Amino acid sequence: MGKKISMIALAAVTVLSLGLSACSESTDAGKKTAANSPAPNGQQEAAAQAIQQGTYKFDPPVTITTVKATDSTMKFKNGETMENNVHTKWAHDQLGIDLKFLWQVPGDQFNTKLRLMLTANESLPDVLMTMDGALMEELMQSGKYEDISADFEKYASPKVKQIYNSSPLNWQQVTIGGKKMALPNFRTAGNDNAVMWIRQDWLDKLGMKAPTTFAELETLMQAFLDKKPGGSDNVIPLGVSFGSGGSSPNPFASWLGETTWVFGPYGTVPYQWLEKDGKLVHGSTLPAMKDGLAKLKDWYNKGYISKEAGLQDENKLGELIAQGRVGIVVAPSWMSGWPQTDMQKNIPGSIMKPYPIPALNGKAVAKDTTYLNGGLLIKKDFQHADALFLYLNRLFAGVNPDENSEFVNGWFKDYDYTIKSDGTLSSVDKDIPGGKVDPSKYFLMAPTDPFLGMKIRAKIARGETPVTPSEKKVAGGVQDGLIAARIVDDGWKSGIYVPQAYMGASTPTMQSKQGILVKLEGDTFLSIIYGKKPIDEFDNFVKEWMSLGGENITKEVNEAYQKTKK
């Protein structure tokens, strides 16, 4: 995964904070005065407005307690610690907020420690960030953490509201019975969405155009086999990674060489929950799977797909692309970096260009990247949700900042960026005194607009004038990567990419049976593609999947899904 992680970092847009001067106030934003009596309504309204604007400062300072899961990427400099660093100092000096960490443990111990606290009924932190869906579900159901709906409406800035309300999916994972039980945490949306990358040098050599339909794609793959534009018999027309997923086989929905787009036009997306007639169904069990499996079986028999595809995970496929053996691969928008750059080093003159995925009978459909990633919870007896939202408003204001923002260059000077002696900006490690660190690792929550990065790159690819600093930085990016982002954004607009319909925690039957069912899927599907089992074996698979726990999982998933919609 190392290569993937590095390329995600390259593709990410730096979206930092709006600089607003904090002003000192004598109350705590309308919850209680220093004398512990209710503040007048007018004062409460003024304070709430200042919090939304990010201009408030608590005096005396208020404390927010939390806990932290650490990892190997978390570094400190200048003798700082989690409790005392450039970010905690900023929160104290600018906002009148003291961040107090009750404890910190490596990430692999975090869930266990919290569950022990729950079991022992110990006092929990005021706010808690978790990226684990199952743990978040336990905490939301524990009665220890509160519905944040009212505080969100009262204190969240217009920008925060715009980000969080931009998609109905954003709240799904944290909503129970219509109550918002946490503030969702996001990854980058669209990061693994399907874009068709083709060896443009091979296309040009053959005098052919990029395919727009399955029929044209098959013609091109056959031409790659017959005419050998790479000068070798060792060509792989279509690179796929059927061996992805490790102990949880996921043959079709990998992040490099995925094939959900083969099934999509027939009416399903494998390994994904889909909404059909108001109810959720598992895409791998729909009859349309047979058509997609038959198509992949046909391509496998014709040699369009490697005979070793079932043993190839994403990193192995990346190696094959770097060797110059792969003609076509459906991959993320960031493939203009790795593995393309390795291929170009190894094969002078080689280049892969991005194109939309092909259509069948006028339809192009593939999976959408899952970007919901846990959330931030607020304890029921915590008196300063106002302080938490002040803190978040200031940080989220940094998403796509303007030129006057306090964080326009980065989070903190001489931490993640520096100004060189010639006055130029640099975020290169060797230029930063004492080396580069990522201060966002110290935050309660890293501010993210999940769709912003892709949409900014798409905007630049369409030739629109960059306005904000983030847009200007992206304008200097690799052109093919920008075009690929535009393809993804166009796909969102036209409904090509289908999102995961269920984002709740693992149900009880999932926890006990999911491993068996996923293995059954992988074994059955690959056996059909390889010709070891007939296509009609799919019908037996569905019956077995249901009897081994799939029927109960479907029932549980639908019950949980309906709760999010009430």
What is the spatial distance between Cα 160 and Cα 163, in angstroms, rounded to a whole number?
Answer: 5
566 — pLDDT class (breaks 50, 70, 90): low
Question: What is the architecture, at CATH level 2, of domain 195-367+499-565?
Answer: 3-Layer(aba) Sandwich (3.40)
In terms of DSSP bridges, do strands 183-186 and 372-378 run parallel, antiparallel, or are they unpaired?
Answer: antiparallel
What is the spatial distance between Cα 273 and Cα 258, in angstroms, rounded to a whole number?
Answer: 17
The chain-wide mean pLDDT, for the chain, equals 91
Pair 507, 437: CB distance under 8 Å: no
Q: In what order do the strands lie in the sheet with 195-199?
A: 236-239, 326-331, 195-199, 352-355
Q: Is the pLDDT of residue 518 over 90?
A: yes
What is the spatial distance between Cα 349 and Cα 201, in angstroms, rounded to a whole number?
Answer: 7
What average pLDDT does this structure show over 233-261? 90
Task: Kindly report, residue by residue over 170-185, the tens digit of the pLDDT.
Answer: 998 898 888 999 999 9
What is the spatial distance between Cα 371 and Cα 170, in angstroms, rounded to a whole number?
Answer: 9
Q: Is the pLDDT of residue 10 over 70?
A: no
What average pLDDT does this structure show over 5-30? 38
In 3D space, the residue among 561, 60, 549, 129 whose CA is nearest the CA of residue 379 turns out to be 129
User: pLDDT over 90 for what percent of the chain?
Assistant: 83
Four-residue CA torsion sign, 441, 442, 448, 453: negative
Q: Is the pLDDT of residue 20 over 90?
A: no
Q: Is the pLDDT of residue 3 over 70?
A: no
Task: Kindly report, residue by residue over 180-200, the tens digit of the pLDDT.
Answer: 999 999 999 999 999 999 999
Q: Look up residue 506 and give its DSSP letter.
A: P
What average pLDDT does this structure show over 411-420? 96
Pair 401, 470: CB distance under 8 Å: yes
Residue 564 is predicted with a pLDDT of 73
Task: Kindly report, residue by residue over 278-290, the tens digit of the pLDDT.
Answer: 999 999 999 999 9
Pair 288, 260: CB distance under 8 Å: no
What average pLDDT does this structure show over 114-118? 94
Spans of all domains in the chain: 44-187+373-398, 195-367+499-565
CA angle at 181 for the pair 142 and 563, rounded to the nearest 5° = 90
* Torsion angle defined by CA atoms of residues 123, 129, 135 and 136, in that order, rounded to the nearest 10 degrees: 100
Q: Is the pLDDT of residue 23 over 50?
A: no
Model-level pTM? 0.90
Q: Is the pLDDT of residue 31 over 50?
A: no
- In angstroms and rounded to an integer, the radius of gyration of the C-alpha atoms of the chain is 26
CATH number of 44-187+373-398: 3.40.190.10
Task: Kindly report, residue by residue over 346-402, the tens digit of the pLDDT.
Answer: 999 999 999 999 999 999 999 999 999 999 999 999 999 999 999 999 999 889 998
What average pLDDT does this structure show over 299-324? 96
Pair 164, 445: CB distance under 8 Å: no
* The domains spanning 44-187+373-398 and 195-367+499-565 adopt the same CATH topology: yes
Q: Is the pLDDT of residue 6 over 70?
A: no
Return the beta strands (E) in 165-234 as ranges.
175-176, 179-180, 183-186, 195-199
